[in-house]
């Protein structure tokens, strides 16, 4: 099937749901470490408590990709999953700030992450479904734009509510501040409304041959069908996908180090938080709010740089763009070690934001052009393995290191994340590319 070129506004509508999805991710990334610490978690416990995100991604995304490849009903192929995930995630966002114990928050994070993955995975395949090859870089860049915008709004929301609207930003020990409550409630509303916009405004192309489509569903049905497809898919994985796997592994190892340990690192080194002192809870809350501001800045840079990516993608290869952006991100994280004033942290976040815009678009643009259309959702889900496996590695291993070696500072973990990004940039040099330049 020769797919028609879509206008900018058509691509805008089909990507708008990512604005809501990123509200869920952004609130989680900026606030969960601080929430865990407010509920009594030690720094060495944080990686294990964050394990929900990678494990649910590992389990949910390949299954949802496999199922969505084989779905066709009144809502279409991918849109039923957008809707189901949005409803579940919005519910989890409402309950999260009402957590009264550490393990209640951890359990809700599992539900939230599984639900977000149900919505998010089909969105990657949606771009490849709808757009011809030469427009896919543009499609993924517009997704980056919405991811950046959604994360800007969500990450900064507790800080804005406290400093602009006077909502309390601190709470007694063991409690979650009201500003965090209201931010999560707003995020729940934004998630469902943005996804509904995409569902209502964008149609899907039906399978070219419905008879063959139904036969394929019948031949690969149930758990056995998924297992056979999974094993065959791993054996026949395209060469470019195997090469990109290593790039993704070290990229996301670096990101996960930042997401977990940025807040504790700046709490100690910039805000002066010392465990077992009367000011500890207040300093952690302040660091949590500034983490939100910092993450909002890097996502704001991602939003702005996504427009630049649209222009760069017309002139340069996705591989070259990705290498340069990852190098800037790695240097940004390493520079955190030299900073003692909170405002200067925002300068480091510029490099991270440029890298983030590329991470959300260029690997998928390189990948989509080497995948068979009938297995797009499945392979996009399998590709997620190389995002979540490094996170599981960090979650299971890093907490043990910090528990047994108290001298390993959380700041070193953030710097190590920067080194991982630089290694990912070097590994990108090995990736074969079969892309088309955009017209």
Query: Is residue 86 in a domain?
Result: yes
Query: Is residue 162 in a domain?
Result: yes
Alpha-carbon distance values, 55 to 36, 155, 182, 395 (Å)? 19, 23, 28, 10
Q: Which of 101, 302, 90, 58 is nearest to 189 (CA)?
A: 90
Coil, helix or strand for 7? coil
CATH number at residue 82: 1.20.1250.20
* pLDDT for residue 62: 78
Query: Is residue 208 in a domain?
Result: no
Tokens for 415, please give them: 């710097």
Query: Is residue 437 in a domain?
Result: no
76 has which bridge partners?
73
* pLDDT for residue 437: 43
- Rounded to an integer, what distance in angstroms lies between the CA atom of residue 113 and that of residue 88? 10
Give the residue numbers spanning the domain of 70. 8-202+214-428
Q: Where are the beta strands (DSSP E) in 256-380?
A: none
Query: Is residue 378 in a domain?
Result: yes
Q: Residue 380 region, left (φ>0) first, then alpha (ψ -120 to 50), else beta?
A: alpha
Query: Is residue 42 in a domain?
Result: yes
For tokens 């259309």, name the residue. 373
Contacts of 342 (CB under 8 A, 6+ apart): 266, 270, 271, 290
Cβ atoms 261, 413 nearer than 8 A: yes
Cβ atoms 128, 136 nearer than 8 A: yes
73 has which bridge partners?
76
Alpha-carbon distance values, 227 to 69, 75, 223, 290, 378 (Å)? 15, 27, 6, 45, 12
Tokens for 70, please give them: 């084989």
Tens digit of pLDDT for each residue in 310-336? Answer: 888 778 888 999 999 999 999 999 999
Query: Is residue 196 in a domain?
Result: yes
Coil, helix or strand for 409? coil
Contacts of 162 (CB under 8 A, 6+ apart): 168, 169, 177, 179, 289
Q: Which of 326, 351, 328, 329 is nearest to 427 (CA)?
A: 326
| Cβ burial 198-216 (10 Å sphere, 16+ → b, else e) | bbeebeeeebeeeeebeeb
Q: What letter does residue 337 receive in the DSSP assignment?
A: G
Count: domains in the chain: 1
Mean pLDDT by 10 residues, the chain (439 residues): 82 90 84 84 78 77 79 85 93 91 88 88 81 81 82 82 85 81 93 94 77 59 67 78 92 90 85 74 82 85 85 85 96 91 92 92 82 73 81 77 69 92 95 56
Q: What letter does residue 209 receive in the DSSP assignment?
A: -
Give the CA dihedral 295, 298, 304, 307, nearest 10 degrees: -110
For the chain, helix (H) and strand (E) counts, in that order, are 19, 0
* pLDDT for residue 335: 93
* pLDDT for residue 439: 36
Tokens for 342, please give them: 């909170």
Share of the chain above pLDDT 70, in %: 90
* pLDDT for residue 347: 93
Q: What letter does residue 371 receive in the DSSP assignment?
A: S
For 214, the enclosing helix (H) or strand (E) is: helix 210-219
Query: Is residue 282 in a domain?
Result: yes
* DSSP per-residue codes, 32-56: HHHHHHHTT--GGGHHHHTTHHHHH
- Rounded to an integer, what distance in angstroms lies between the CA atom of residue 240 and that of residue 244? 6
């Amino acid at each position: 099937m020769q797919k028609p070129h879509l206008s900018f506004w058509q691509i805008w509508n089909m990507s708008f749901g990512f604005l809501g999805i990123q509200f869920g991710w952004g609130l989680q990334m900026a606030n969960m470490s601080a929430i865990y610490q407010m509920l009594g978690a030690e720094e060495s416990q944080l990686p294990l408590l964050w394990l929900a995100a990678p494990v649910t991604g590992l389990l949910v995304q390949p299954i949802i990709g496999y199922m969505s490849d084989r779905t066709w009903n009144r809502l279409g192929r991918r849109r039923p999953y957008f809707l189901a995930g949005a409803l579940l995630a919005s519910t989890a966002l409402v309950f999260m700030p009402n957590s009264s114990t550490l393990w209640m928050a951890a359990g809700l994070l599992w539900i939230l992450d599984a639900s977000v993955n149900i919505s998010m995975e089909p969105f990657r395949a949606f771009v490849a479904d709808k757009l011809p090859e030469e427009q896919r870089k543009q499609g993924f860049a517009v997704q980056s734009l919405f991811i950046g915008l959604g994360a800007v709004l969500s990450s900064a929301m507790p800080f804005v509510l406290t400093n602009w609207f006077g909502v309390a930003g601190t709470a007694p020990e063991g409690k979650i501040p009201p500003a965090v409550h209201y931010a999560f409630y707003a995020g729940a509303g934004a998630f469902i409304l943005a996804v509904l916009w995409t569902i209502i405004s964008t149609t899907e192309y039906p399978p070219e041959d419905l008879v063959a489509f139904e036969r394929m569903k019948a031949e690969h049905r149930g758990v056995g069908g998924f297992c056979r497809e999974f094993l065959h898919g791993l054996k026949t994985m395209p060469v470019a996908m195997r090469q990109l796997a290593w790039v993704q592994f070290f990229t996301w190892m670096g990101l996960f180090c930042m997401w977990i340990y940025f807040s504790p690192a700046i709490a100690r080194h910039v805000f002066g938080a010392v465990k077992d002192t009367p000011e500890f809870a207040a300093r952690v809350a302040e660091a949590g709010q500034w983490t939100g501001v910092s993450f909002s800045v890097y996502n704001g840079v991602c939003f702005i740089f996504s427009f630049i990516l649209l222009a760069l993608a017309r002139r340069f290869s996705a591989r070259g763009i990705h290498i340069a952006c990852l190098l800037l991100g790695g240097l940004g994280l390493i520079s955190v070690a030299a900073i003692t004033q909170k405002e200067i942290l925002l300068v480091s976040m510029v490099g991270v934001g440029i890298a983030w815009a590329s991470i959300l678009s260029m690997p998928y643009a390189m990948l989509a052009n080497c995948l068979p259309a009938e297995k797009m959702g499945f392979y996009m889900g399998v590709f997620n393995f190389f995002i979540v496996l490094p996170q599981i590695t960090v979650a299971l291993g890093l907490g043990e290191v910090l528990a047994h070696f108290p001298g390993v500072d959380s700041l070193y973990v953030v710097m190590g994340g920067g080194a991982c990004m630089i290694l990912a940039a070097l590994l990108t040099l090995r990736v074969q590319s079969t892309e088309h330049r955009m017209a």
